[in-house]
Structure 1
Amino acid sequence: MRSRSKTPVERVLQFCDLLNMIPIRVGQAAAWLLVPMVLLIAYDVIARRYLRHLDWIIDNDLHHIMNSSKIQDSEWHFSAALMFLSLGYAAAKNVQIRLDLFRDRFSARTRVAIELAGTVVLWIPYLTVATIYGYEYVQAAFLTNEQSSVLTGLPNRWIIKSTLAIGFTLTLLAALSFVLRATIWLWGPYEYRAHTRLEDISGDSEVADQDPSRSS
């Protein structure tokens, strides 16, 4: 028995899931950067506060290990990479910060329409420009062999700068996915509303309960 072919709306929603999957997977992987970042910060604090005063550290002139510019550079590198690579995850999950002062006064349709308008008019143009300039930023750092401002710091500054451009790219993918899903929510068949997974924005929990993918 032949399986039912997907409708155009279902194909668009499947494409949206693919767009969302990329920033979500990258964000989940980037979350592990928190572990080395915390370990480095803990080591830096302990070394500066206690270890550098030990006699054997002083006798063997190991202060450079206790006060390494590479360690300090690595701390903010991990922090920046974690933040930039998680931007797309937050956008794909619809958990980015919003000003909800008047949100409860609006209907579900108005909420989604406002989000869609803001994304198309403000968010996507900004992300597009930021992505383009972000890669130019990385290219300039690579071509000039930009290094740390500290002589003993980390080299290849283009590596950490690339996370900025990648982060904007991932967020742009999530924003495009949202535009498609919001369009379906507003003007598509009602039975597909639950599959757009916009109940966090619309506040329409009854529609969310109809999504079979959420019952498991």
Structure 2
Amino acid sequence: MRATLRFIDAFTEATGRVLAWCIPIMMLVTAAVVVMRYGFGYGLTAMQESVSYLHGSVFMLGAAYALKHGAHVRVDIFYQRFSPRQRAWIDSLGTLIFLLPLCGLILLSSWDFSAKAWEIREASVEPGGIPAVFLLKSLIPLMAVNLALQGLAELLRNALVLIEGDGAEVNRAD
């Protein structure tokens, strides 16, 4: 169980660190688009669209990283006062009742949408746009899988706390 937990955490951490590099790249491309358009009166549609691709990648694939680091919105008026065991119960129930079913729903509802885009190799409708909209649409089911995997890791982490007691909090692989 601990090996699986460490593997998922390491995968999520590596993915998050790679995605973090998309942010400065996105900023530089955005700045270049603005300078080219307003400074030189020249624009490249593919460059503009690449910002959307980077943005989508960061937010869709970064959701698991945010979950791993507790960066999701949480109403913790009471939660912060709970013992590690009580938190483990709440987090486990939240994962089982809300997170994993939501990931399943997103995966099921986006599968055909993404598969059809792959089938026709959907491209940008804009002249000079990126001919890979199918890749962008693939981020939706990938997000569901990544988030479900990290949800499973959180569930395993909480199970260890519940089985081994309050002192068994399992650190995340940072």
TM-score range, shorter chain: 0.7 to 0.9
The structural deviation recorded for 1:51 is: 1.8
From 15, 32, 39, give the equivalent of 1:43: 32
TM-score (norm 2): 0.88
Aligned partner of 2:102 in structure 1 is 126
Aligned positions of 1:1-216 closer than 5 A: 12-52=1-41, 66-186=42-162, 188-190=163-165, 193-194=168-169, 196-197=170-171
Q: Is the 8 A contact 1:27 1:86 kept in 2?
A: yes
* Aligned residue pairs, count: 174
Secondary structure in 2 matching 1:50:
helix
The structural deviation recorded for 1:81 is: 0.8
The structural deviation recorded for 1:121 is: 0.4
Structure 1 residues 86 and 69, CA gap change in structure 2 (3 angstroms): same
Structure 1 residues 38 and 135, CA gap change in structure 2 (3 angstroms): same
Distance 2:140 2:111 in 1: 8
Larger mean Cα displacement after TM superposition, 161-170 or 67-76? 161-170
CA-to-aligned-CA distance 1:180-200 (integer Å, 9 cap, x gap): 1111211x1238613x238xx
Secondary structure in 1 matching 2:62:
helix
Q: Is the 8 A contact 1:112 1:182 kept in 2?
A: yes
Report sequence identity in percent: 21
The structural deviation recorded for 1:115 is: 1.3
Distance 1:132 1:181 in 2: 26
Which amino acid counterpart does residue 193 of structure 1 have in structure 2?
Answer: A
Q: Mark the structure with the bigger radius of gyration.
A: 1
Which amino acid counterpart does residue 82 of structure 2 have in structure 1?
Answer: F
Q: Is the 8 A contact 1:70 1:154 kept in 2?
A: yes
Distance 1:169 1:146 in 2: 22
TM-score (norm 1): 0.72
Shift >6 Å, 4+ stretches: none
Q: Is the 8 A contact 2:95 2:155 kept in 1?
A: yes
- Structure 1 unaligned blocks of 5 or more: 1-11, 53-65, 199-212
Which amino acid counterpart does residue 32 of structure 1 have in structure 2?
Answer: W
Q: Is the 8 A contact 2:85 2:166 kept in 1?
A: no
The structural deviation recorded for 1:110 is: 2.3
